[in-house]
Amino acid sequence: MHELVELMPFATVRDLENWIARLNGLGPYMDQTIDLMREGMRRGLIQPRIVMERVPAQIARQVVEDPSGGQSLFQCIRDDAGVDTGRGTAAAAH
């Protein structure tokens, strides 16, 4: 998702509303993915062991103890998204 943020414009309130809508859709997308994976497991269609053995380390590299100290997804939104939302800049409002 980090790469997607780099490509998206954040110049208007609508741009930020679109981003929030995408974030709100992430939960249902993940639920659908989990359901599909479970169905695949039921049918015996699973990833090769060598692929899955790498997953825990990949996840571990993304987890930090203090999320305020590192780069977050929201820090990827450029500071030039200084859109006035009536509550300060759009970047600060969300």
CA atoms of 67 and 62, how far apart (whole Å):
10
CA atoms of 50 and 14, how far apart (whole Å):
43
Which pTM value belongs to this model?
Answer: 0.52
- The pLDDT assigned to 7 comes to 80
CA atoms of 24 and 20, how far apart (whole Å):
6
- The pLDDT assigned to 27 comes to 93
- The pLDDT assigned to 62 comes to 81
Domain ranges of the chain: 2-66+73-93
Q: What is the pLDDT along the chain (94 residues), one digit of tens a residue?
A: 567 777 888 888 898 898 889 889 999 999 999 999 999 999 999 989 999 999 999 999 888 787 676 555 555 555 545 555 555 555 454 4
